[in-house]
Structure 1
Amino acid sequence: MNEFKQLSWQGLWKNNPALVQLLGLCPLLAVTATVTNGLGLGLATTLVLIGSNATVSIIRNLVPNEIRIPIFVMIIAAFVTVVQLLMNAYTYELYQALGIFIPLIVTNCAIIGRAEAYASKNPIGYAAFDGLMMGLGFTVVLVLLGAMRELLGYGTLFDGANLLLGDWASSLKVTIFTTDSPFLLAILPPGAFLGMGLLIAAKNLLDKRFESMFAAKQEAKVVQRARVTAET
């Protein structure tokens, strides 16, 4: 159980592939103009991470060390192809919107990095869970960045959710304000860089506050122990 908690903490916060490792920035910055695009790419990446991690873990003792990287890439490419075919069949309009960035999941360094650093050295249960947590951590950043850019650029949230979730999801669209022309800085690549920088800065600020709070608690415990020792 402690291992699963550690994997959750690493993937969602401490070693987040987007905010800490800064991996997969090309698709992250390119497609997150809306929440729907970010969520779609995030879920696709998560499925590939889970599948590739589990498969690499299963064959980890069968693959010669000299050719492990090409084998891992082929496994990742196979799962990306499966996800691509599924999206083409069931979410075609979203698949068209994401375009080349679905097949480019193959080149995401976060996926090959987890396959090499963790999945190839651990049992399938841990490897699959690691893929899930890393994928969710990546997806959360995609959704947050997409929400920031969509809100500032278009004044809406969850526009086009029906492309991913079906016709019923059209009712999820929230209009915060209306505008005749979108705020271009938010929806173009410069806005993506600015938004990503703000998210990284916010995480670093929270980390520092948590560290200072933890240090203060530890200092209080030391003082309390010293008082008890002195009284006895």
Structure 2
Amino acid sequence: MADYAKIARDGLWDNNIVFGQMLALCPLLAVTGTATNGLGMGLATTAVLVASGLAVSLLRGAITPEIRIPAFVLIIACIVTVVDMALNAWVHDLHKVLGLFIPLIVTNCAILGRAEAFASKQTPLASAFDGLMMGLGFTLALTVLGGLREILGSGTLFANASVLLGARFGFLETVVIPGYQGFLLLILPPGGFIVLGFLLALKSLADRRRRAGSEAKTARAARSFTAVGVLPRPEEGETS
């Protein structure tokens, strides 16, 4: 039975594509000049992860081990082509901004890795859920990174959301720092490396504190058992 809570925790935090596996860094650094671009790229990748996980799980009985990798790549490429055409048809402005990085989703090691490590061994429902959680974790990483770079680089948040994603997303557009002159370095790819480094450090610190808290809780539980007399029985001949 699939542990859906663990799948969600892995995708969103513990085994996050960016912060846990350090994969997909090329689109991460190239398209996250704004939160809008990061959100669009993340949602497109999420659609591919869900569809590819579901398709691989459904077809796993018909795919022999010898050809599984080429078959997985072919499935992913077909899905990416459909997503690319859909973006071009319905959100053409965003498609122009993301450009070549949409077709390059095929080469995203995280997608092939989830197909091989999870979808090829699990049920369709669990595989689709795993793809959804991995995709949402990836979207979160892109959006947070893009948002920080955009705020610090130009003083705005979700700029041009109504143009790139559609009029319904216009409410996201915010001027965070009015009259800000901008900091060009953070919008360029080197700024992505800088902000990513700080985010990785924060995640590492949060994980360390969580482990320390868990160890402290275990130690307190052990002391409480000792206090109520839950101790090993003395051997014969030993004095208490």
Report the TM-score range of the alignment, normalised by the length of the smaller protein. over 0.9
Q: Is 2:5 the counterpart of 1:11?
A: no
Q: Does residue 147 of structure 1 match 2:147?
A: yes
Higher helix share: 1
Task: Find the residue that maps to 2:61 and give its secondary structure.
Answer: coil
Q: Which runs of 5+ in 2 are unaligned?
A: 232-240
Question: C-alpha separation between the residues in 2 aligned to 1:56 and 1:187?
Answer: 37
C-alpha displacement of 1:177: 1.9
Tell which deviates more after alignment, 178-187 or 6-15.
178-187
> 1:163-191 CA distances to partner (integer Å, 9 max, x unpaired)?
34422433431112245753111101110
How do residues 137-216 of structure 1 correspond to structure 2 at under 5 angstroms? Answer: 137-179=137-179, 181-216=181-216
Aligned to 1:35: 35
Deviations 1:124-157 (A, max 9, x none): 0111100000000100000000000000111000
Tell me, yes or no, if structure 1 residue 133 matches structure 2 residue 133: yes
Aligned to 2:24: 24
CA distance in 1, matches of 2:138, 2:171: 26
Q: Distance in 1 between matches of 2:222 and 2:201?
A: 32
TM-score, normalization by structure 1: 0.96
Q: Gapped runs of 5+ residues in structure 1?
A: none
TM-score (norm 2): 0.93
In the TM superposition, 1:7-156 aligns within 5 A as 7-156=7-156
In 1: Cα distance, 2:99 partner to 2:163 partner: 14
What is the CA-CA distance between 1:230 and the residue it aligns to? Answer: 6.5
Post-superposition Cα deviations, 1:14-61, rounded to whole Å, max 9, x if no partner, equal: 111110100101001110000110000000000000000000001111
**Structure label with greater radius of gyration:** 2
Write the letter of the residue equivalent to 2:188. Answer: L
Q: Is the contact between residue 155 and residue 176 of structure 2 (CA under 8 Å) also seen in structure 1?
A: yes
The separation in 1 between residues aligned to 2:142 and 2:106, in whole angstroms, is 18
Distance 1:224 1:180 in 2: 56
Aligned-pair identity in percent equals: 51
